[in-house]
Amino acid sequence: MRRFTWLVPTLYILFLMLPIYWLLNMSFKTTNEILGVFTLWPREFTLDNYRKIFTDPTWYNGYLNSLSYVVMNTVISVTAALPAAYAFSRYRFLGDKHLFFWLLTNRMAPPAVFALPFFQLYSAVNLFDTYIAVALAHCLFNIPLAVWILEGFMSGVPKELDETAYVDGYPFWRFFVKIFIPTIAAGIGVAAFFCFMFSWVELLLAKTLTSVAAKPIAATMTRTASTAGYELGLLAAAGTLTIIPGAFVIYFVRNYIAKGFALGRV
């Protein structure tokens, strides 16, 4: 039986990779071939779908817009979560557990609940259709998640490290930036990963709070219908390209994510 222990995980991995392969397969086909015949690989291999994405400003601007507000949100969320998580991990104050739970309830709420309030608020302050509007909206969900993840990593750092730094004359912010943050670099990587991925795949708020100038790629993909129907090959090519940023992020933080699982915070 030991000879076949590799069979189950191999079949499972192939099952997981099948949708990705099929998406990639469709991206090199024309829409007529996709609708007309079932094939495991393209009969008429074409790069027209990718060519249109990289030459049409509507498409490649969508990718740039998405990356802009996603990176902005990740930086804001992690930066705001670091001092908050430190406070929860190092100090005890009245209502700390209730406040920590309240933060997590914000993460549990569906984005649809906040779509209309955010739309009216950002329209009133002239932030509608800007990167910062989407980035700040996603902070409502990402900051609580980042605080929760970072608090777990910080609680694993002995308090003696803080006390030793104070005895050596380190001011708080110097100790926090030069000593403490490098110690929890794995936690920052995990928190940044989850913030990036949520903001990258979230569609409702990104579509509601933008129209032209900051329209994300996800919103562009929902507007590919024509008189002949949906351009399936173009949609498949766009979907294939949306996987690439997430794959890069996973590659660089894969070791940190594994450590997060080990600490029980992921």
Q: What is the CATH number of the domain that holds 96?
A: 1.10.3720.10
**Of 58-62, 92-96, 259-263, minimum mean pLDDT range:** 259-263
* Residue 239 resides in a domain: yes
Q: Are residues 12 and 74 both part of a single domain? A: no
Q: Are residues 23 and 146 both part of a single domain? A: no
The residues, any chain, with a CB within 8 Å of residue 212's CB and separated by 6 or more, are 129
Distance spanning both ends of the chain, measured CA to CA: 33
pLDDT band at 121 (very low <50, low <70, confident <90, very high): very high
Q: List the domain range (segments joined by +) for residue 37.
A: 1-46
Of 134, 94, 90, the C-alpha closest to 114 is 134
Q: Are residues 32 and 72 both part of a single domain? A: no
Q: What is the pTM of this model?
A: 0.86
Q: Are residues 214 and 103 both part of a single domain? A: yes
Q: Are residues 9 and 64 both part of a single domain? A: no
Q: What is the pLDDT of residues 47-92, one digit of tens each?
A: 999 998 888 888 889 899 999 999 999 999 999 999 999 999 988 8
Mean pLDDT of 156-163: 88
d(C-alpha 165, C-alpha 14), whole Å: 51
Q: Are residues 173 and 207 both part of a single domain? A: yes
Mean pLDDT of 8-14: 85
d(C-alpha 56, C-alpha 201), whole Å: 22
Res. 228: pLDDT tops 80: no
What pLDDT, on the 0 to 100 scale, is given for residue 216?
87
Mean pLDDT of 252-262: 71
